[in-house]
Chains A and B, each alone.
Chain A
Amino acid sequence: MHPFKIVPLAIALSLLSGCASHKPPPRPGSIHAKVEQLSEMSYLQITDLRAVKRNHLLTVQAEINNTDSDNQQLYYRFKWLDADGFTVGSEETWKPVLVYAYQKQTLTAVAPSPQATDFRLVVQSPDNTGDLP
């Protein structure tokens, strides 16, 4: 094959392979299974997630760790799901949080109704690698 014909083929293959995710699916019950990152964050890490039912309502606490020496802006919201995996209530508003350098910030949220038995934490930070999670 002519060498110039191989180059476009290699580009096409690399593009195709870029579309396919190499990461294995997150383990059920792990933090990654509960977190949806809108592009992977470089400096902010979700280090802890706790969920408990209080007064019939699921209450969630997440710990965000800023590993950078600069302050980081985080946008987040929770998605609430019922036992069948359907969303409960309307979409939450995006909430801005400033996480100081090397700070551990705690986010808490209460489910909108007793039907919510599961959740997803959706996060986005402007300073990120741009890679899909």
Chain B
Amino acid sequence: MYNYSNAFKATTIALLLSGCATQSPTLSSGNVEYGDSKAVETLTNEFGSTDLQTIAESMAGSLLQSAPLAAKQRPLVTVADVKNRTSEYIDTKSITDSIRAKILKSGLVRFAVDTSAMQTQVEELTRQNQTGLYKKSKSKKMGNMEGADFRIEGSITSIVKRAGDVKDVYYKFSLQLVDNESGIMEWADEKEIRKTSNKSMF
């Protein structure tokens, strides 16, 4: 009887203890943790993830509401160059990729391959048509690519000012939508960002 009682108590304590300690499916040294990729990042005042995401959201929303895109049934658009005119390195392709992804997800616009992807497109068509490896009836034909109705182009500029311990950075991201046939700029918008940092402790 005594042994049963002790065993019961031990089991109960073990169950309670194991119930309190939750095991996460992680293997960590304790120094690394995952964070929120959508959090506002203000580690430095250089161009950061929040700037990229904010610009992409703002421009995609504005572009989808633009009259020239709304007037056509799923218009075909291509992305041209976005020039980096700031004093720092910014991957402008990453910004336009994000804008393109957001616009594509709406289902209201289609995108033609841009100049950076054209080499891959040509190589694929050449492989299907000229290597003799593919059935003629199943290979995608040359000469059926569609020209984009519009192209998106733009630039990012910055003004950096320092006064003592204070550094102020102003970014301006400009985007335009140009009709490829007429050469008319049909839409333009800008997104401005100001970031100020202070080195002084007091």
Contacts and interface: CB of A to CB of B under 8 A. Distances in A.
Question: What's the interface size class on B, roughly?
Answer: 20 to 34
A95 B106 contact: no
B57 A57 contact: no
Contacts, number: 55
B172 interface: no
A92 B61 contact: no
Interface residues of A, number: 19
B40 A96 contact: yes
A89 B49 CA distance: 19
A91 B57 CA distance: 11
A75 B36 CA distance: 14
Interface in B39-58: 39-40, 49-50, 53-54, 57
Interface in A74-133: 75, 77, 89, 91-96, 109-110, 112-114
Interface string A30-42: 0000000000000
Given A57-B64, A93-B40, A113-B108, 13 more contacts: A56-B70, A57-B65, A57-B106, A91-B38, A93-B38, A93-B50, A95-B40, A95-B57, A96-B40, A110-B61, A110-B64, A112-B105, A113-B107
